[in-house]
Chain A
C-alpha cells in the first residue's frame, strides 16, 4: 500500500491539525473579519484573527474635516447603535468648545441613547440565538427594532446611519409622532422582551450551548481592556454612565447588572437585564421631558450660534443668520485649542474620543477608542480548547461589529 502514499519532501512533518478559515465572508462572522482556526478534530488549538477589511481611515479623514462632517463618520463605527456614537461625538465637541446643554436636551439624548442601546443588545442577543440554532427570537424582536428605527426616522430622518443631532442639541424638536411611537414602544416592548426571555433564558438547549462557552475572569477581562456588557458579565460593575456621568445620567435611577463567570450565558443575561434598565431610564426620562411646559417644552438645543446652525427661515431673511450658516457649513469656525478625552457608554462598552485641537478648523488628531477592537484580541484566549461550535457562539455573543473594529 505504501506506493499510494503521497510523497512528502524529505524532512517534512505531517500536519496533524486542520486549518479552517472563518471569514472574511462567513455567515457566522456577521461582518467582514477573519478567524484562522487550527482544529484538532473539532477542538480549537489556536485562533488568529485578521481585521482591517473595511478599514476606512476615519482618523485620517477627520483631520481635514470640520466637526459636523465627522458625525457621519461616527455613524459607521458601531452601526447597530449609531445614535450613541453621534451623541458621544457631539458631547466630546461640546466639552472642548465649552457648550452647556439645557436639561431637556440631555433628557432627549438619554431617550435616544437608551433606545439605541436596546436595539444594539436586541440584535446581539437574538443573533446569539440564531447562532445557537433558534431563529424564532430574532424574528420576534425584529419588529421592535423596526419601531426604534421609526422613532429615529421621526427625529432625524434616517434609520441606520443616523447622523443625528448637532453640537448643542438636536436639529429639530421631537414631533408628536415620535412621542406617540415612544409611548407605543414603552407600553408594548416589556411584553415582547419577556416573551424573548421566556424563549431563551431557561431554555435547556440554549443553556447547554452557552453556559461555560468562552468564559473569562474579571482580572483577565480588565487586562484585556474589556468594557461594557462583556466586562460586566465577568463581574466588574464598571459603567461610564455611572462613573463619569454625561448628559445628566446622574438624574436617573438605574442599576448595573453584573454576571459572574463571563461566559456567553452571562453576557446574554447581562444584556437582557440592561435592556430592562434602559427601559427604566427611558420611562424616567420621558416623564421628565413631559414636565417641561410652555416655552420650556420648545427647547431642543443650546444657544450657541457659533456652532449650531440657524433656522432656515432666518437664513433666508436675516444677514447674521446667513453669515453663521455659511461659516458653519463651509467649516470656517475655528475651535479653541485643547486636548480632551471624552467617553460614553456605547453598545459594546466605553466609546472614547481622544481629540486634540490646535485651534484650527479640523481636529489636529482624533482617535476613537473602539471597544470592539480592543476586546476582540481576547478571542483566542476565550476559544482555545473549546469546540468549533462554541467559537461561533462566542463570536456573536461578544457582539463583534466590523465597523467598530476597523474604523
Chain B
C-alpha cells in the first residue's frame, strides 16, 4: 500500500526538474513529499514495507500538460511495485451516437496511442533488463453519459475488476468534463473502493501558462462579444462613451468568467446550430407552458382542489451540464412538474396532477432538449416510459421508495407529519 500524495504537493516543487522524465524516480517523488511535511512521513513509512499489489495499475488518460510525466511515473510505479500491466484508459465524456462522437473517439485513440508509445519507450529506456510490464489501452464509458465523479469511479472500478487491476494513478491535471476540476471528488470517491489511489507527484507547468492558453481563443471572444452586445442593448449603441465603458466591462467579464461560464469550446457550426434550434424550441416551450398553466389554474381554482401530488424519478438521457440544466428548468417551467433534485442522470420531479406526470413520462421535453443540443437525428428515442426509466415514488401507484431519510424513518404518514419532519432534520 502506498500513500495518497497531495495533488498540490507536485506544484510546490515546480522549480528544477521540468518534464519529470523517467530518469530518477525517487528524487522526483521525494521532493514532492518534502515541502508538505505532514504527508511525507506517512508516505515513507508505507514505502518501507511494501505489500506490493501485483495485478495492474489503471491510469485515466486525458490530453493534459502533465500527461507525459504521469505516464513516466506510472512506468516507475509499475516497475518499483511490481505491477504486471499498465492500463491506460480514456473515459469517454460523450456517448456513442452523439454527433461528433466518432471524431472524439478517434482523437481519444490518438491520445491513447501517444501515451502508450511514451510508456513503451520509458520501459525500453530503463537501465538493465527490460521489466516484464505490459501496456494496455482502452476507451471506456462511451455507451452512457457520465455525470459526476461517482459515475467515473464506477466505470473505472468495473474496468479495474474486469482486468484484475488494483491501483489507480491519477494525473493531477485530469479533468475529463470541460474545465470542471474533478480530481478531489475523484480521489474521494475512489477512496470508497478497494482500489488504492495515487496522484502522480509530477510537476505542473506554471498556472499562468495554462490560464493563458485556455482563456485566449474562442471562449474569450465568445464571452467578450456576448457581454459587449448585452451591454450595448442596455445602453445606447450610438453613443461613444457607452462603447468605451462597454469594452472595459466586457473585457473584465470575459477575463474573469470566460473559463467559468463556458465549459465547452464554442465551435462552428455546432454552437450557431444550437442557438438556432434553441430559437425553434422557445415557442414550443411557451406553448407547453401556457397549455399546462391553464390545466393547473383549473385545478387550483376548483373548490374541491383535486390534486394528487407525487414525487417521481426519471432517468434522462441528456449530457451533463447545460443540456441537463435546460431540461430540468424546462420541466420546472412547465406547470404541474417541478424538478426537485438532479442526482447524476436521475431527475427527481414533483408532479401536482396525474396528467402532468404522464406528460413528463412521455418525455417530449427530453426529446426537445436532445433536439436543441444534438440535432434532429438524436431526438428520436423511446419515451422514458418505454425505456422503463421512470418511477413513481409516492401514493398508491408507487413503485419505488422515496429516498428521504424521514420517509423510511417511521411515523405513519398523515397523523404526525410534523414529527417525521423533525426527525429528518436531526438525521441530516
| A and B assemble together | no
